[in-house]
Chain A
Amino acid sequence: MYTFSNRLRLFAIISFVLGAIMVAFSFMNTPGTVEEMKAMHAAHGDGHGSSHGDASHADDKTAHHSDHAETADHGEKSHDNAHGSADTHGKDGGHHMSQAEKDEHHLGQLKNKPWAAVYVAAFFFMMIALGVLAFYAIQRAAQAGWSPLLFRVMEGIGSYIIPGTIIMIILLVMSSLHWNHLFHWMEPSLQDPLSDNYDKLTVGKSAWLNETGFIIRAVIFSSIWIAYSVLSRRFSVKQDNASDNSNFKKNFRLSAIFLVLFLISESMMSWDWIMSLDHHWFSTLFGWYVFASMFVSGITVIALITIYLKSKGYLEQVNDSHLHDLAKFMFGISIFWTYLWFSQFMLIWYSNIPEEVTYFITRIDDYNLPFFGMLALNLIFPLLILMNSDYKRLNWVIVIAGIIILFGHYIDVFNMVMPATVGANWSLGLGEIGAVLLFLGLFIFVVFTALTKAPLLAKRNPFIEESKHFHY
């Protein structure tokens, strides 16, 4: 049995409390009115350029970029209120915003900032647990012979899906109650034909994008994932003391069913929770893209926690070859993620259709470093570090590669959420770091508590002997 070390528990609690304090500060530092915002800006100096200093920003671009901006502006007529992206194209060709409107808009983005920071971190940790559940289900459905030694680790991480999705649902409910403005399609005036904000495109999508359906779907997706995590864990623990393999078989069938439901629910979840932040934009392979991100993060966390537990002497039978396999998965799925990222980017870049391409223009203009930086973190580092077969057996190499990959995929989620919610006003500051610490603390606490609940070695699993002698 694993015992939760006091030092780790203390670390989790400190991380949680410190994160909570930092998040609270970032909420308190948010300006409430335009006057406050201006006062704060004056105090700060013009340090972080406001999104509206864009005139020169846009003019600096090469001819190619202003081409984009111009074509984009045509499309913008119907996109006038695409928050976060509308005014970042700079060129005031399509429409003119009065200074008051601009200030209001800017204020809205600043108000979103702490919310978006919490949302990104909450989603990131939820997604790790979900990715691990998917990996676990695949191992069970494929009857993999190497991984049963790691099942308890995976089950432990998977157990975070319960608090993870509950927090996500709470955040989504808060958005639906208009406590924040993360999801612009929730703005009631967009649906009102008499309003200046009336937006035909949003109305056209309202059959899917409405608060009631949104919350109901979120609850359904979460129930599927939680049910699998709980039931599969139960069968797995029961198998330890069973006299036959019936629990193992049940788990096999359950995993196969879960994988089907998972792919459907995950795909729709990514439309709802991420893609609808940019509700004028759509992409077909988005669900896969989000899946690749969660899958590689999940596998990385399995590897990191396995290395940690082994270093504490809890997983004696886990050898280099198990780590080698995990590292191969980290390597392969990192490349898979890049493939999907590039497929999405290149198709849109190549055809350059205004209604699609605005998504990437905001990201390239306002998020240049995080947008392209994550390619280095998520592709080039893992590619070069994990290509060598010998390196995949060294703990410290996997730990370094794992930390880089996790940071890269945090930035990935950041890039998906922030441009739509805070526009050019992003930073990796108090709120963002605080939110990560908050959820990191919670994640460690939940996962390691779950690990203490059952023996780390799954006894009587039909493949456990093979797994113990696994050698590559």
Chain B
Amino acid sequence: MSSKVIQAMYIDDDVLMSAVKKVRQENHHIEEVYTPFPVHGLDKAMGLAPTRLAITAFMYGCVGLGVAITMMYYIMIKDWPQNIGGKPSFSFLENMPAFVPIMFEMTVFFAAHLMVITFYLRSKLWPFKEAENPDPRTTDDHFLMEVAVQGNEEELKALLLETGATEIKVTEKPE
């Protein structure tokens, strides 16, 4: 099973933005947009759902805090409560100020690293991954919009040309 897509090339991000809005207005489904750099507001124009990465980071941070607290409570208070330089090891709370730097760093460590890994997983990025780039020029100075062909192919082509596309290519995309 394969589907037909039209790849329209643009050379200006402002033109691309207005093209995206136009195409969405005409109720065509934009499969993907390839840009060499982040175009401010493109996600809103495409109607993409906001990212939930920050929420995951918050949860990972809580996990990190929990790990740090559990670890130090077990090691320093429960398992072997030594007297080290007169610091009170009778309860976690009494010795807490000394643990705060570690609690803080662990929170940041977990939040940052697990969020980055989540990002890699969600955007399917890893070493030796085959690049999914339809045209190498989109990594330099071109913008490419991929629109699914549903009905009239010629009409869609005309629409895209009207929005300022410099090149148009119809390809079969393997599913």
Query: A residues bordering B, Cβ < 8 Å?
Result: 62-64, 67, 342, 345-346, 349-350, 352, 387, 389
Size of B's binding interface in residues, CB under 8 A: 10
**B94 and A64 contact, CB distance less than 8 A:** yes
Interface check B151, CB cutoff 8 A:
no
**Given contacts A387-B58, A389-B54, is CB(A64)–CB(B90) below 8 Å?**
yes
Whether A67 pairs with B97 at a CB distance below 8 angstroms is no
B164 within 8 A of A: no
* Partner of B97 from A62, A346, A389 at Cβ < 8 Å: A346
**B1 at the binding interface (Cβ < 8 Å):** no
CA distance A346 to B97 in the complex (A): 6
CA A352 to CA B98, docked complex, whole Å: 12
Complex: A342 Cα to B87 Cα, angstroms: 17
- Residues on B close to A: CB < 8 A? 54, 58, 86-88, 90, 94, 97-98, 100
Minimum Cβ distance to chain A for residue B72 (Å): 15
Complex: chain B residue closest to A62, CB-CB: B90
For the residues of A in contact with B, the DSSP-based class is: helix
Q: Select from chain A the residue with minimum beta-carbon distance to B89.
A: A64
Q: Which residue of B lies closest to A345 (CB)?
A: B97
Residues of B within 8 A of A67 (CB): 86
Bound-state Cα–Cα, A114 to B97, Å: 34
Q: Which residue of A lies closest to B55 (CB)?
A: A388
Q: Can you name 18 A-B residue pairings with CB atoms under 8 Å?
A: A62-B94, A63-B88, A63-B90, A64-B88, A64-B90, A64-B94, A342-B100, A345-B97, A346-B97, A346-B98, A346-B100, A349-B97, A350-B87, A350-B97, A350-B98, A352-B86, A387-B58, A389-B54
Find the residue from B88, B90, B98 having the highest chain A CB count within 10 A. B88
Q: Whose C-beta in chain B lies nearest to the C-beta of A346?
A: B97
Chain B residues near A63 (CB-CB < 8 A) = 88, 90
**A342 proximity list for chain B (CB < 8 A):** 97, 100
Among all A-B residue pairs, the 6 with the closest Cβ atoms: A64-B88, A346-B97, A349-B97, A64-B94, A350-B98, A342-B100
A352 to B88, CA, bound (A): 12
Q: How far is the CA of A413 from the CA of B127 in the complex (A)?
A: 54
Contacts of B100 in A (CB 8 A): 342, 346
Alpha-carbon distance A352/B94, docked complex (angstroms): 14
Please, which residues of chain A bring their CB within 8 A of the CB of B98?
346, 350
Q: How far is the CB of B168 from chain A (nearest CB, A)?
A: 33
A389 to B55, CA, bound (A): 11
Q: Cα distance A212–B98 when bound, in Å?
A: 42
B58 partner residues in chain A, CB cutoff 8 A: 387
Q: Which residue of B lies closest to A64 (CB)?
A: B88
Task: Give the docked Cα–Cα distance between A252 and B86 (Å).
Answer: 53
Q: Which residues of A contact B86 (CB under 8 A)?
A: 67, 352
Query: Chain B residues with Cβ under 8 A from A389's Cβ?
Result: 54
Give the shortest distance, in Å, between A63 (CB) and chain B (any CB).
Answer: 8
Return A392 CB to nearest CB of chain B, in Å.
13
Provide the residues of chain B in CB contact with A346, threshold 8 Å: 97-98, 100
- A387→B86 CA distance, assembly (Å): 38
Residues of A close to B88: CB separation below 8 A? 62-64
The answer for the CA separation of A89 and B88 in the assembled complex, in Å, is: 19
A384 to B, closest residue via Cβ: B58
> Which residue of chain A has the shortest Cβ distance to B97 in the bound complex?
A346
User: Which A residues are in CB contact (< 8 Å) with B97?
Assistant: 342, 345-346, 349-350
Q: How far is the CB of A158 from chain B (nearest CB, A)?
A: 34
A324 to chain B, nearest CB (A): 15
Query: With A and B bound together, what is the CA distance between A62 and B87 in angstroms?
Result: 13
Closest to B41 in A: A471
| Interchain CA distance A352-B97 in the complex, whole Å | 12
Whole-angstrom CA separation of A73 from B94 in the bound complex:
21
For A71, the closest partner residue in chain B by CB is B86
A349 to B100, CA, bound (A): 13
Which partner residue on chain B sits nearest A342 by CB separation?
A: B100
Report Cα–Cα, A350/B87, bound state, in Å. Answer: 8
Assembled-state Cα–Cα distance A62/B89 (Å): 12
Q: How far is the CA of A182 from the CA of B117 in the complex (A)?
A: 57
Q: Bound complex: CA of A306 vs CA of B168, how far in Å?
A: 51
Determine the chain B residues whose CB is within 8 A of the CB of A349 once the complex forms. 97
Task: Tell me, in angstroms, the Cα distance from A352 to B87 when the chains sit together.
Answer: 10
| B98, closest chain A residue (CB) | A350
Q: How far is the CA of A387 from the CA of B58 in the complex (A)?
A: 9
